[in-house]
């Protein structure tokens, strides 16, 4: 009952957020004017151009990225049976950053779009982590995956640092730096139309496996005794989250803490049942990121604060707060 | 459901865990797997659960080869409860029990009326409805195991596999849990459980399978399987067989073992009417003991047999005849010490006491709990006089505690 009410509230908040988000920005447009420009655009109206060309794609992308990260985080916390796992646990963020840095540094942007370079870097990193963690003739265990993710993540971060080091003084450095800090500034309708189907398909697929995800919290043998092939399920979920996260990161850069904290907080409110946890995390993640971006656009007006900095500033203290209220150890 | 394990071989790396293991479990039967740590109980259970596949041999569920069944089909037939199963996140009892319906549900389907009935029934049978909405992490160990049993029962399985399900429970919850399992077997569910506690197994299982070194060494009813020899064989522990006086089930009394070299000296114990019973286990650990002259129905006789002590017997309620007396004399002549238990003396066994006092030097005679002998004297004072006489001539008087302490 409580869960239904919360989901209903979150859906309503989503609508408010999307409308609210587009009326915030460096150019002051009142809510009424924004609505007018959105629903009844006049030809040549500058407000309509800003709303349709800049703010709407940006707000929608922000919502989809926040949703993707939070959803992936919720699923991966279930897969790793650890409430402190994030969508970046398998090195996707550092992989995507390295991919983006390589694309920019080598001047490949003329041939492949930057998001594709980042996507390839992110998915390649996860693939590599999986292969490295995999023992001969078996599936990797969760600790092996996490450790391989840490190790390879560090290696990929080193690659990015190295590229930044050699491009120092170049315009490319600023570009790489900006990308790694995360931003929705490059949002375009093409991004929305790429990310939306990925979100829709993987989201529904993940949600349809939420009972199995619940059973996974009993451990592999516990899940098996309920008729689930845990290795197959986990591999499928890893694939889905990797594609979803890598696509989101490709367009927005590495935005931290949304994917870690949103599901964690939702679990405290709603309990661990993934049938509710997944949609609630997804909606909350989207809402959070739109407002975080709105803040990032306005606090230093007319300059824009990189979004990743803001989410980290909000997220880190909240994360520490959650950490302290855990009864057991951090690494349980 | 009948479970048949035929000639299973399995190794973890190069450590052989099961070698040629065989097991047959009949439908509705409770079978307990017993054996020391590392004997293969858990590995065998994991094979029956389908978690591990043998390198050789086959497991059959009824007529089906287990390896041909899919995970969901397997989960509809078998449910598992382990000693330390935990849910990582804070699910409520109700949510966990509902998970038990997973093998029966289509993807994303809601719980059907039938599913709900199965969940309610499982929770009622295990008495966990009262904490349906409590997070499992807030329950005690015993309550939690009952929730996991409820989850297993919600699967409506044909067989329950339990791996040390009571390992961390206090005695009340152990009895409670095994009683619940026992009752489900009455509904036709086949139960295979690995247990540490031999006596719990004997009390709750129809049959026991004793394992050692990855194979089943004997299998049968508790009375057939448990003997000092088989227990020593499997566990390397000495024991005395008995019965639980309240339930009549076989009860194994374990004996702290003494090294064989520590057994020295020959001791003859004069007992009867249960007077020697408490002394025999203590003495048998340290000396070569012979018990004299008791009737085959006597408690002392039973205890001596359980301990493997040779006994000189006489028919009950009869005066001791020459045959047993001659044997007693031989034993007394070889003995280093003679212990006289605080027995009731009547005309029947007065001859035994006389024989002791004629054959053995008084200093080698030990009277246990000799004060109060008058009350045990049914010879009109003759026995009392004999005992007091031998005490004056140098015999030793000791209490039972002193004997135990020596």
How many angstroms separate the CA atoms of B16 and A117, rounded?
50
| C-alpha distance from residue B216 to each of B7, B43, B171, B212 (Å) | 10, 12, 28, 7
Range A88-93 average pLDDT: 90
Task: Indicate the residue of A209, A211, A228 with minimum beta-carbon distance to B71.
Answer: A228
The pLDDT of residue A329: 43
For residue B249 the two structure tokens come to 């089930």
Total number of domains constituting chain B: 2
B292 band by pLDDT with thresholds 50, 70 and 90 = confident
Task: Indicate the residue of A81, A83, A224 with minimum beta-carbon distance to B51.
Answer: A224
Q: What is the pLDDT of residues B297-335, one digit of tens each?
A: 888 888 888 777 889 988 887 778 888 889 999 989 888
Does the beta carbon of B89 lie under 8 angstroms from any beta carbon of chain A?
yes
Binary contact (B86, A229; C-beta < 8 A): no
- Whether B262 shows a pLDDT value over 90: the answer reads no
CB atoms within 10 A of CB A116: 17
Q: What is the pLDDT of residues B185-221, one digit of tens each?
A: 988 899 999 999 999 999 999 999 999 999 999 999 9
How many angstroms separate the CA atoms of B61 and B157, rounded?
12
User: Does B329 map to a domain?
Assistant: yes
Does the beta carbon of B106 lie under 8 angstroms from any beta carbon of chain A?
no
Segments making up each domain of chain A, as ranges: 2-35+59-321
Clarify whether residues B86 and B17 are in a common domain: yes
Q: What is the pLDDT of residues A250-292, one digit of tens each?
A: 999 989 889 999 999 899 889 899 999 999 999 999 999 999 9
B159 band by pLDDT with thresholds 50, 70 and 90 = very high
Does the beta carbon of B406 lie under 8 angstroms from any beta carbon of chain A?
no
- Whether B259 shows a pLDDT value over 70: the answer reads no
pTM: 0.82
Compare all CA atoms of chain B with the CA of A226 and give the residue at the minimum distance: B75
Clarify whether residues B212 and B268 are in a common domain: no
Residues of A in contact with B89 (CB under 8 A): 81, 83, 217, 267, 271-272
User: Does B10 map to a domain?
Assistant: yes
Does the beta carbon of B78 lie under 8 angstroms from any beta carbon of chain A?
yes
CB contact residues (below 8 A), chain A span 77-116, against chain B: 81-83
How many angstroms separate the CA atoms of B120 and B97, rounded?
9
How far away is chain B from the Cα of A271, in angstroms, using its nearest Cα? 7
Range B55-72 average pLDDT: 94
For residue A280 the two structure tokens come to 């609630």
Q: Which long-range contacts (CB under 8 A, 24 or more apart) does B135-143 make?
A: B135/B90, B135/B91, B135/B92, B136/B87, B136/B90, B136/B91, B136/B92, B136/B93, B136/B96, B137/B90, B139/B93, B140/B173, B141/B168, B141/B169, B141/B170, B141/B173, B142/B169, B142/B170, B142/B172, B142/B173, B142/B176, B142/B177
Beta-bridged to residue B396, according to DSSP, are B366
Clarify whether residues B204 and B291 are in a common domain: no
User: Does B254 map to a domain?
Assistant: no
Which residue range is the domain that position B373 belongs to? 260-405
- Whether A332 shows a pLDDT value over 50: the answer reads no
Q: Which class in CATH covers the domain with range A2-35+59-321?
A: mainly alpha
- Whether B258 shows a pLDDT value over 60: the answer reads no
Last residue of a domain, one of B188, B211, B241: B241
| Lowest model confidence (mean pLDDT) among A23-37, A192-206, A315-329 | A315-329
CB-based contacts of B153, cutoff 8 Å, min separation 6: B79, B100, B121, B122, B125, B126, B160, B184
Residue keyed to tokens 């845990």: A230
How far away is chain B from the Cα of A198, in angstroms, using its nearest Cα? 20
Clarify whether residues B221 and B332 are in a common domain: no
User: Does B149 map to a domain?
Assistant: yes
- Looking at every residue in chain A, the average pLDDT score rounds to 89
| C-alpha distance from residue A147 to each of A135, A257, A330 (Å) | 13, 20, 16
Q: What is the pLDDT of residues B81-116, one digit of tens each?
A: 998 888 888 899 999 999 999 999 988 788 999 999
CB atoms within 10 A of CB A163: 21
How many angstroms separate the CA atoms of A276 and B304, rounded?
67
Does the beta carbon of B74 lie under 8 angstroms from any beta carbon of chain A?
yes
Q: What is the pLDDT of residues A28-82, one digit of tens each?
A: 788 888 888 888 888 778 888 888 888 999 999 999 999 999 999 999 999 999 8
How far away is chain B from the Cα of A199, in angstroms, using its nearest Cα? 19
- Whether A331 shows a pLDDT value over 50: the answer reads no
For residue A28 the two structure tokens come to 């002051």
Binary contact (A218, B86; C-beta < 8 A): yes
Clarify whether residues B209 and B273 are in a common domain: no
Task: Indicate the residue of A208, A225, A226 with minimum beta-carbon distance to B107.
Answer: A208
Last residue of a domain, one of B190, B211, B241: B241
How far away is chain B from the Cα of A10, in angstroms, using its nearest Cα? 22
Residues of B in contact with A228 (CB under 8 A): 71, 75, 102
User: Does B37 map to a domain?
Assistant: yes
The answer to whether B267 and B254 have CB atoms below 8 angstroms apart is no
Last residue of a domain, one of B241, B272, B307: B241
């Amino acid at each position: 009952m409580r869960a239904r009410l919360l989901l209903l509230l979150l859906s309503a908040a989503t609508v408010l957020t999307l409308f609210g988000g587009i009326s915030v920005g460096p150019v002051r447009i009142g809510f009424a004017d924004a609505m007018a420009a959105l629903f009844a655009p006049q030809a040549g109206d500058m407000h309509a151009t800003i709303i349709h060309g800049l703010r709407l794609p940006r707000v929608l992308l922000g919502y989809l990225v926040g949703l993707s990260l939070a959803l992936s985080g919720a699923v991966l916390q279930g897969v790793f049976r650890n409430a402190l796992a994030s969508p970046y646990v398998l090195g996707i963020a550092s992989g995507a950053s390295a991919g983006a840095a390589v694309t920019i540094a080598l001047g490949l942007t003329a041939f492949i779009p930057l998001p594709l370079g980042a996507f390839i870097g992110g998915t390649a990193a996860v693939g590599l982590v999986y292969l490295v963690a995999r023992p001969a003739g078996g599936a990797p265990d969760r600790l092996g995956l996490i450790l391989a993710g840490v190790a390879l993540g560090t290696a990929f971060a080193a690659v990015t640092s190295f590229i930044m080091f050699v491009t120092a003084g170049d315009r490319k450095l600023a570009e790489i730096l900006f990308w790694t800090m995360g931003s929705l500034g490059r949002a375009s309708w093409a991004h929305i139309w790429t990310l939306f189907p990925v979100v829709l398909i993987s989201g529904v697929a993940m949600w349809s496996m939420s009972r199995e995800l619940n059973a996974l919290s009993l451990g592999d043998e516990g899940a098996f005794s309920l008729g689930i092939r845990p290795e197959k399920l986990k591999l499928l979920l890893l694939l889905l989250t990797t594609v979803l996260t890598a696509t989101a990161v490709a367009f927005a850069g590495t935005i931290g803490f949304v994917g870690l904290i949103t599901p964690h907080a939702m679990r405290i409110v709603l309990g661990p049942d993934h049938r509710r946890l997944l949609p609630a995390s997804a909606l909350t993640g989207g809402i959070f990121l739109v407002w975080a971006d709105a803040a990032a656009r306005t606090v230093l007006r007319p300059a824009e604060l990189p979004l990743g900095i803001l989410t980290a500033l909000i997220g880190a203290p909240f994360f520490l707060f959650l950490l302290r209220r855990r009864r057991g150890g951090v690494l349980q | 459901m009948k479970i048949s394990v035929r000639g299973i071989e399995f190794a973890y790396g190069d450590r052989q865990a099961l070698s040629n293991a065989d097991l047959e479990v009949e439908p509705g039967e409770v079978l307990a797997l017993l054996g020391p740590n590392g004997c293969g109980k858990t590995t065998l259970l994991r094979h029956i659960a389908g978690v591990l596949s043998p390198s050789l041999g086959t497991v059959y569920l009824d007529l089906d080869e287990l390896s041909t069944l899919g995970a969901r089909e397997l989960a509809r037939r078998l449910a598992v409860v382990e000693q330390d199963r935990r849910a990582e996140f804070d699910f409520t009892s109700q949510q966990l029990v509902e998970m038990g319906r997973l093998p029966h549900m289509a993807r994303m389907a809601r719980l059907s009326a039938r599913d709900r009935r199965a969940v309610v029934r499982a929770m009622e049978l295990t008495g966990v409805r009262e904490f349906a909405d409590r997070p499992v992490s807030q329950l005690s160990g015993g309550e939690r195991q009952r929730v996991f049993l409820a989850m297993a029962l919600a699967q409506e399985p044909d067989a329950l596999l339990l791996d040390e399900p009571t390992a961390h429970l206090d005695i009340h919850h152990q009895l409670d849990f095994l009683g619940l399992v026992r009752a489900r077997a009455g509904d036709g569910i086949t139960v295979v459980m690995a247990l540490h506690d031999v006596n719990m197994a004997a009390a709750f299982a129809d049959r026991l399978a004793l394992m050692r070194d990855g194979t089943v060494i004997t299998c049968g009813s508790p009375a057939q399987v448990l003997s000092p020899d088989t227990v020593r064989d499997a566990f390397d522990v000495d024991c005395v067989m008995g019965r639980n006086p309240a339930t009549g089930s076989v009860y194994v009394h374990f004996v702290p073992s003494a090294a064989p070299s520590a057994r020295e000296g020959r001791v003859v114990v004069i007992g009867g009417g249960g007077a020697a019973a408490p002394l025999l286990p203590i003495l048998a650990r340290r000396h070569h003991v012979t018990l004299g002259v008791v009737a085959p129905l006597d408690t002392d006789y039973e205890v001596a047999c359980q301990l493997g002590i040779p006994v000189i017997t006489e028919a009950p309620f009869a005066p001791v005849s020459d045959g047993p007396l001659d044997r007693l004399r031989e034993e007394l002549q070889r003995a280093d010490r003679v212990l006289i238990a605080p027995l009731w003396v009547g005309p029947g066994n007065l001859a035994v006491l006389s024989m002791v006092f004629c054959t053995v030097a008084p200093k080698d005679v030990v009277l246990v709990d000799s004060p109060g002998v008058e009350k045990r004297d049914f010879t009109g004072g003759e026995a009392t006089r004999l005992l007091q006489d031998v005490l004056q001539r140098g015999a030793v008087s000791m209490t039972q505690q002193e004997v135990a302490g020596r």
